[in-house]
């Protein structure tokens, strides 16, 4: 029987995690092949940048049309390689990419064009300044398997519209989805050397980091992200790192239990819990606790687990048995420390080796592994808390800070608590959907990473900002040039007083002292 990942003679095998079916065998790119891809991208990027933003936007519009026409086919490709239900692939991947294209089509020209810089300093009033946004060059992207289409596609579209070339190294578990993205982009008019996919495992990612790229965007584990940051620091390579989360959900005593419990179930089990934004910790006010966990357990037991190609499936398989082992170890540790298992808590071998039952745990404590380590699987641990202060303290008691949610009928109260939570995004009365808001930045604090993707701030990550200064009096020597002397010192003191003295009299006296500076003899 084929294993989920086979690497032999520099080959990898893409496997359907639900059925074990071998989808395709691919050659791994070696160090030389990765470097060659970047070398090819260099001159191609120059020509791509010279097209101008309006032409690149037109190509994105064509990509959007092609993706929309193939939306079901692409979603099914995602399901076969990742396992999530087709409907979920449509909503959380295809829709996200279509809308990201929409945002860039509508806004990229305005966000990338030159920006005038006004000069408030009187000494620089004869200058004209503006900000020029230039592409970095070749952007390397290392993307994960859990959202194998939406994550690399949204990052790639921003990089391309800004005039960069992209070399993408997808997860070795999901290379076919990346190749589907390449087919769509090339079909829309992106030159083949401007967007390239290099297939391989970790060694290919390391080779991309060593290649002469101009920036790296990485999504993955904290441990790998730290190694990348250290290697990038050696050459001052700029990076964007999205390194996962342990996202808390805070349910206050005035929350709607029916709505909040449904949100917790979806937030914990979407993509079989394999989402950096999934609900991995839930803190519920004591007055609602029993009602809340009972509702979550009842709804969880109604979820239909199976092959994502089945239209009735709510939760598909996990990507690989290694992920199942992590989930299993966290749940078993929690059981050993006395949690109540209200739903699930075991594998589903009758469905296949990558299936784990959606699980609800009650009576968890903050010290358990299930509340500290990223589980990345279909588990919802729920803990009671006494008040808002305790909920916020527990939410912030984590090395991660990607996202969080607050559930309350009082919007202002929710906003106040949101400001106290250490996270890149806090949603009030919703979970996860922030990733699908194309205008909103995505990224975290603490060990959840550095930098942002999506929206205006994500587009800013794809450009270098240059300040361009034009002097409008090219035939005039500047008053601050050599020579100095006592008179010049006195005039400069007056000039500072003229601009910054606290009183009108002080400013007028300063103006008198500054008079004559333009008539002094200079070198």
User: Which residue of the set 28, 88, 276, 461 is catalytic?
Assistant: 276
Using CA atoms, how far apart are residues 463 and 159, in angstroms rounded to an integer?
8
Query: CA nearest 243: which of 271, 227, 222?
Result: 222
User: Which residue of the set 81, 242, 280, 461 is catalytic?
Assistant: 242
178 burial (CB, 10 Å; 0-12 / 13-18 / 19+) is: buried
DSSP track, 247-314: -EEEE-TTS-HHHHHHHHHHHHHGGGG--TTS--EEEEETTTHHHHHHHHHHHHHT--BS-TTSTT-S
The alpha-carbon radius of gyration of the chain (Å, integer) is 28
Q: CB under 8 Å to 473, separation ≥6 — which residues?
A: 126
Using CA atoms, how far apart are residues 270 and 265, in angstroms rounded to an integer?
8
CB 1 within 8 A of CB 337: no
Using CA atoms, how far apart are residues 365 and 382, in angstroms rounded to an integer?
9
Q: Which residue's structure tokens are 């295809």? A: 94
116 burial (CB, 10 Å; 0-12 / 13-18 / 19+) is: exposed
Is 242 annotated as catalytic?
A: yes
Is 28 annotated as catalytic?
A: no
Using CA atoms, how far apart are residues 444 and 387, in angstroms rounded to an integer?
25
Active site residues: 242, 276
């Amino acid at each position: 029987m084929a294993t989920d990942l086979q690497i032999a003679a520099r080959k990898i095998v893409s496997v359907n995690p639900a059925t074990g079916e071998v989808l395709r065998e691919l050659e791994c790119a070696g160090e030389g092949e990765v470097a060659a891809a970047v070398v090819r991208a260099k001159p191609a990027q120059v020509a791509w940048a010279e097209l101008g933003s309006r032409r690149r936007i037109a190509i994105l519009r064509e990509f959007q049309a092609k993706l929309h026409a193939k939306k079901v086919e692409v979603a099914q490709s995602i399901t076969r390689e990742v396992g999530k239900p087709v409907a979920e692939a449509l909503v959380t991947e295809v829709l996200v990419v279509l809308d990201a294209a929409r945002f860039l089509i509508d806004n990229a020209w305005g966000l990338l064009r030159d920006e005038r810089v006004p000069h408030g300093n009187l000494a620089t009033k004869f200058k004209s300044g503006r900000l020029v946004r230039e592409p970095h060059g070749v952007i390397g992207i290392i993307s994960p398997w859990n959202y194998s289409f939406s994550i690399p596609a949204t990052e790639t579209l921003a990089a391309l519209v800004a005039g960069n070339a992209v070399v993408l190294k997808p997860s070795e578990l999901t290379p076919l989805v990346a190749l589907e993205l390449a087919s769509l982009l090339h079909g829309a008019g992106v030159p083949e050397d401007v967007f390239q996919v290099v297939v391989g495992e970790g060694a290919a990612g390391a080779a991309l980091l060593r290649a002469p790229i101009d920036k790296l965007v990485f999504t993955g584990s904290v441990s790998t992200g730290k190694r990348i940051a250290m290697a990038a620091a050696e050459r001052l390579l700029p990076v964007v790192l999205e390194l996962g989360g342990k996202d808390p959900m805070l349910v206050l005593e005035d929350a709607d239990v029916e709505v909040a419990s449904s949100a917790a179930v979806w937030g914990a089990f979407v993509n079989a819990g394999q989402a950096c934004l999934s609900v991995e910790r839930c803190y519920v006010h004591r007055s609602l606790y029993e009602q809340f966990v009972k509702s979550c357990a009842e709804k969880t037991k109604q979820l239909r687990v199976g092959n994502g190609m089945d239209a009735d499936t709510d939760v598909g398989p996990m990507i690989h048995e290694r992920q199942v082992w992590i989930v299993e170890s966290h749940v078993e540790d929690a059981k050993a420390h006395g949690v109540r298992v209200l739903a699930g808590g075991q594998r589903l071998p009758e469905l296949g080796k990558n299936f784990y039952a959606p699980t609800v745990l009650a009576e968890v404590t903050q010290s358990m592994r299930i509340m500290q380590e990223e589980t990345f699987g279909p588990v919802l641990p729920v803990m009671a808390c006494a008040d808002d202060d305790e909920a916020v303290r527990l939410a912030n008691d984590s090395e991660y800070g990607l996202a969080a949610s607050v559930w309350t009928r009082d919007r202002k109260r929710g906003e106040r608590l949101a400001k106290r939570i250490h996270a890149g995004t806090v949603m009030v009365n919703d979970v996860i959907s922030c990733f699908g808001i194309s205008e909103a930045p995505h990224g975290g604090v603490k060990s959840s990473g550095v930098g942002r993707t999506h929206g205006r701030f994500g587009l800013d990550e794809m450009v270098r900002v240059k300040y361009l200064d034009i002097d409008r009096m090219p035939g005039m020597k500047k008053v601050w040039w050599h020579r100095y002397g006592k008179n010049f010192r006195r005039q400069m003191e007056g000039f500072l007083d003229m601009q910054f003295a606290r009183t009108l009299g002080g400013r007028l006296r300063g103006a008198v002292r500054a008079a004559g500076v333009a008539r002094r003899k200079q070198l």
